[in-house]
Amino acid sequence: MKSKSILVIGAGIGGIVAATHLAKRGMKVTVLEKNSRPGGRCDRFSRDGHHFDVGPTLLVMPLLYEAEFAALGAEASMREMLELQRVDPTYHLAFDNGSKLALTSDMESMRQQLEAFEPGSFQSLLRYIDEGDRHYHLGMEKMVNRDFRKATDFFNLGNVPLAFRMKPFANHYRNMSAYFDDPRLKAAFTFQDVYMGLSPFEAPATFSMMPYTELAHGVWYPQGGMYSIVEALVQLAARAGVEFEFEAAVERIDVNRNHAHGVVMDDGRHLRADVVLANADLPYVYKNLLPQDGVSKRLERKRFSCSVVSFFWGVDKPYKQLPPHTLFLADDYRDNFKSIIRDLDLPANPSLYIHAPARLDPAMAPEGQDTVIAIAPVGHMSENGEQDWAEIRDRAREHVFRRLRTIGIDDLQDHLKFEVNFTPLSWLKRYNLMKGSTHGLCHNLMQLGYFRPSNKHARYHNLYFTGASTRPGTGMPTAMVSGRLAAQRIMDEMIYD
């Protein structure tokens, strides 16, 4: 029997993983990527001996990564393919009043630190971790590893207890009052909601699974940076027979009635296929690659994640006092998220993240120098396009320098060799992320599980989707799950085609 041909639009994590699974089942798979290298928003660039991860800068949820690498049939384990080191403390948190907290799996250290903030808070942390443990394991089984092909996969008696056991209707930040009184501790164990593109003031308490997995399973860093994961996945794909074509932009998906025939490239080529799998940002696919049928407008009305302004700095001296991961958490935590989510702006006193990868891998910077990444969460692009991103970027830069001065680094701006910066406009232009939203559609309650867009088109029966804005959601390990689920659905439905 002739093998089926599959075109994958986009070489993001989900696209690479899906392509590998399909190729291993004998399909002829070609991945079309508009940029010059794979990875999508999990990108990398180098300049003057400095190496930068553009997207994620740390590996969380390692058990999920391990399971997905194993599902790909890798001869070596994930830990053998990636030279991982555990990052502990995971983060160094700095607060406005000068207090600091190092999040670590060393429970004695956590006890001493937390009790100095709030007497009795260490026992509260243990209770919170226990809740996170329950949410994590239920979430993996009932939500993350499911693609909910029909409503009854989600709405059934077996899932009713989840409404009580996973706290989907409880507000995450409000739920913290059951554990801590000190607002700094509430912030310390909810800021991870930003990974989902959410404010903790609207995120479901389900997401206590994130601080749990960081403390219980660890935060890790692969030698060479997070892009090493992309390289490992591409290696597995190539072994399976996947073909990649770079600098190959798709202009539209060729559809007729209820069938996708292939794609039309921006150079005019028509490529035919039995199946099309789109790994580009889902709202972008509906708006730019498909005929307009109302779905695109409905997607645009959904809630999008926030964005970020990122600075990538090559520095001519090392800053050894700068840990791998530093978070400056503002006292006006609630106002921060109001500015980002409601006002689509940069907060007046923003919380910031600083990454110094050379603390973990000295090869990320030339000897005697440093590589620094600074990230300021901001709102996504507005409908009217009135935001002045150059002005917002410049304000964010000054806030970074101001924050660094509070921990004794007052001369970094004098030692910059160069700067590369990304605003929401950059995320839109380079990665086709609608509204410049770095995490795609956000993960509020009505965009989780069955309520998240499906990985199959409702009309075109051989058009499928994978990636952040479809099921199960955003994040690198979740993108791997998304790729596997999409590939499995394609293979299952080919049997009955």
- The per-residue pLDDT for range 300-313, each reduced to its tens digit, is 999 999 999 999 99
* Residues in Cβ contact with 394 at an 8 Å cutoff, skipping those fewer than 6 apart: none
- The per-residue pLDDT for range 184-236, each reduced to its tens digit, is 999 999 999 987 778 999 999 999 999 999 999 999 999 999 999 999 999 99
CA-closest candidate to residue 228, choices 409, 427, 447, 476 = 476
- Strand 259-265 versus strand 270-272 pairing type: antiparallel
- The per-residue pLDDT for range 54-65, each reduced to its tens digit, is 999 999 999 999
CA 170, CA 322: separation in Å to the nearest integer? 36
- The per-residue pLDDT for range 337-383, each reduced to its tens digit, is 999 999 999 999 999 999 999 999 999 999 999 999 999 999 999 98
Does pLDDT of 1 surpass 60? Answer: no
Q: Coil, helix or strand for 346?
A: coil
Strand boundaries in 318-444, DSSP class E: 325-329, 352-355, 370-378, 416-422
Q: Please tell me the predicted confidence (pLDDT) of residue 155.
A: 84
Does pLDDT of 76 surpass 60? Answer: yes
Q: What count of residues does the chain have?
A: 497
CA-closest candidate to residue 135, choices 187, 174, 170 = 170
- What would the mean pLDDT of 461-481 be, rounded to a whole number? 95
**Residue 79: is it exposed, middle or buried by C-beta count within 10 angstroms (0-12/13-18/19+)?**
middle
CA 267, 268, 273: angle at the middle one, nearest 5?
Answer: 110
Does pLDDT of 495 surpass 80? Answer: no
Query: How much is the pTM?
Result: 0.96
